[in-house]
Amino acid sequence: MYMAYSHTNNSRTPHRSTAASKGIATKSRYTKTVIRFLFIALILGTVFSFGAMVQAYAAVSSPTSILSNHSDTKTVAQKQVVIQEGDTLWDIAATHKKSGENIRSYIDKIKTKNHLTTSSLQEGQVLLLP
């Protein structure tokens, strides 16, 4: 009788099962998701913090808060005229000009101060007087 002997080498490393490799992939995917979430949260937190700082700085540096914080600053009250129906620059200049001042030059000062290009006025418009 003839017998065949095989010399098998059982020293190979055992393979991982497919279930074990799927578990590792799931853990890796979960870790990546958590890292992405933390990264996005960090970016959003930075953006919102920067916006809050800008808003706080704008509130501190606004002209009204500066004037209210310094009591020794002088406030200059400007004369204003609210335009009524029928008012003209000539009438306003004649009423508010200094004695001896030319009406036409006072009209030019009014136009310059209020950035007017024409002499037309709107009812309810507010003019600053020089």
**Domain tally for the chain?**
2
pLDDT in tens, 10-69: 555 555 555 555 566 677 888 889 999 999 999 988 888 877 777 776 665 545 444 445
pTM of the complete model: 0.42
Enclosing domain of residue 91: 80-128
94 and 59 belong to one structural domain: no
Residue 74 lies in a domain: no
64 and 85 belong to one structural domain: no
Q: How many residues does the chain have?
A: 130
61 and 90 belong to one structural domain: no
Q: What CA–CA distance (Å, rounded) separates 130 from 80?
A: 9
Grouping H, G, I as helix, E, B as strand and the rest as coil, residue 126 is: strand
pLDDT in tens, 30-41: 888 999 999 999
The answer to whether residues 120 and 87 touch, using CB atoms and an 8 Å cutoff, is no
